[in-house]
Amino acid sequence: MNRTRRSVFRTGVGAVAFGTIAGCLSEPDSGGSEGGYAAFFPLWDWAEQIAGEEIAFENAIDTGQMGHGWEPPSDLQRDIADSNVFIYLDTDEFAWAQEFAAEFERDYDHVTLIDGMAGLENQLLEMDTDGDFDREPADRDFDPDQIEITGFDLYDQRTGAEVAYWHDGHWHGGVPDVPVDGEIAVAGVFEDADGNVLPLGSDEQFQLEVSYVDEESDALEIESRGDHVVLSGTEVSQTRIVFELVADSEVVWETSADTSIVSVVEELEETDAPENADPHVWIDPVIAQDIVETIAEGLAEADPDNAEFYEENAADYLEKLEAIDDQLHELTENADRDVAVFAGHDSYQYIERRYDFELHTPAGVSPDEVESTEDISEMIEVVEKHDIETILYDPFETQNPDEDVPDMVEVLLDETDATEYEPLTPLEGNTEAWDDAGYGWVEQMEEINIPSLKRALGAE
């Protein structure tokens, strides 16, 4: 087993049906052994970064295996019950951990439960977030002087949900609130009188931009990225803005007839999590920062005497996660293309949405899903359409993660002009080689994922 740490203080778990394992535990005692368990690799690594030498953690899953879809051995629940902390994700994709946590909450008061999903409701994505803003634009040039915009729809760029639309000179709906020290991204879809969707992007004929109605606000920062706009909040305020359609640096259409108001708030109101939420939150370095903070708070609850130590370690690690966020932004801003192909299950949509690129996959979210002939044909078409040279693959979808590649890689190399392949880890586990090299979550990102994405997206 691997050493591990992790945190999110679990204050409650709903009733969960149990299998036969639950009945195998001995009677609860007054306390467990020193140390704790984390449900899988990223939680273990983050717990290690925060707990240092104060709490020894075990990774429930052995090196060379990934956590998604994994089933526990019969003695694991007893081992965790003998410890003091259990860090997990309260999601059906880790049903075994949910069941363990429900049992511990009911009968084992000495086990502190830390749920990594706690407080993430506003950031969770549906497993399938394709929306109307993903509609293909018309493949032709437009005369900017003759453009007649009949509709402008505004979408939450991360979730794909429509938040507002402009019609006949008026807004319906509005821009989502922006949290202080946080950001939101909104994407626009412009439609002309003939029903054509206009192409938007930094390298396209048109760009989406936003300007202040009044003087520039220090409380709301605006950054246009061609096909979407990022709004960042620095202090509580309300700011009036106008959305603009720009061509050749000239505004050809705008919503000034009815301005929008953006509210920067201390914190977002908590919303219900999507019924079909994508569990791969550990992929995103921004969401990871929230989880790390939750872990530090949970460890402080479990061990108040070392609360300041955990807080300081978490603060140091947050800087590393912020650096990964900066590197991914720089990568996609310098990329030649915004599409790559990935021979693996669809586990990256959190970073696809955040950094505005697409990984075309042959399968869905489940690692057990098998690609069809139609899926393979679509992959081949994407490679050819975008002149892709590098195929990305998940090393954990092979028998030997350090040496083998999935069969899909060989198919794409045989059927297209692609010439090379690179690993892209879903950060769910560690291979033997990476473990020997001392790779944690940050090292996997810096040494594996970022270099591979640079090659696949043409950002080297």
CATH number at residue 248: 2.60.40.1080
Among 265, 295, 312, residue at a domain's last position: 265
pLDDT of residue 118: 94
pLDDT of residue 439: 97
Longest CA–CA separation in the chain, Å = 78
What pTM, to 2 d.p., does this model score?
0.79
Both 387 and 421 in one domain: the answer is yes
Both 199 and 316 in one domain: the answer is no
CA nearest 101: which of 1, 18, 3? 18
pLDDT of residue 264: 94
Return d(Cα 321, Cα 327) in angstroms, integer: 10
Identify whether 270 is part of a domain: no
Both 102 and 218 in one domain: the answer is no
pLDDT of residue 12: 33
pLDDT of residue 58: 96
Residues in the chain with pLDDT < 70?
1-33, 68-69, 128-133, 272-273, 363-371
Return d(Cα 249, Cα 329) in angstroms, integer: 23
Identify whether 364 is part of a domain: yes
Residues in a beta bridge with 114: 9, 87
Judge contact between 28 and 288, C-beta under 8 A.
no
pLDDT of residue 17: 32
pLDDT of residue 29: 46
* 53 burial via Cβ count (<10 Å: 0-12, 13-18, 19+): exposed
Identify whether 271 is part of a domain: no
Identify whether 370 is part of a domain: yes
pLDDT of residue 363: 62
What total number of domains does the chain contain? 3
Both 295 and 376 in one domain: the answer is no
Q: Does residue 73 sit in helix, strand or coil?
A: coil
pLDDT of residue 370: 56
CA nearest 243: which of 255, 228, 232? 255
CATH number at residue 43: 3.40.50.1980
Q: Which helix (H) or strand (E) holds 379?
A: helix 373-385
pLDDT of residue 371: 64
pLDDT of residue 37: 97
pLDDT of residue 129: 52
Both 90 and 147 in one domain: the answer is no
Pairing of strands 85-88, 36-38: parallel
pLDDT of residue 82: 94
pLDDT of residue 382: 92
pLDDT in tens, 30-72: 444 579 999 999 999 999 999 999 999 999 998 888 776 678 9
Both 346 and 367 in one domain: the answer is yes
Both 410 and 434 in one domain: the answer is yes
Both 260 and 363 in one domain: the answer is no
Instruction: Give start and end residues of each alpha helix (H) in 196-306.
Output: 285-302
Return d(Cα 408, Cα 362) in angstroms, integer: 9
pLDDT of residue 6: 30
pLDDT of residue 19: 36
Domain that holds residue 32: 2-122+276-322
Identify whether 328 is part of a domain: no
Identify whether 23 is part of a domain: yes
pLDDT of residue 293: 97
Both 136 and 252 in one domain: the answer is yes
Identify whether 184 is part of a domain: yes
Both 38 and 105 in one domain: the answer is yes
Both 259 and 169 in one domain: the answer is yes
- Whole-number Cα distances in Å, 114 to 37, 63, 175, 182, 293: 10, 22, 34, 24, 11
Judge contact between 435 and 4, C-beta under 8 A.
no
Both 43 and 113 in one domain: the answer is yes
Identify whether 247 is part of a domain: yes
What is the number of alpha carbons within 13 Å of residue 74 lying toward its C-beta? 3
Find how far residue 214's CA is from the centre of its chain: 35
pLDDT in tens, 66-108: 776 678 999 999 999 999 999 999 998 899 999 999 999 999 9
pLDDT of residue 437: 95
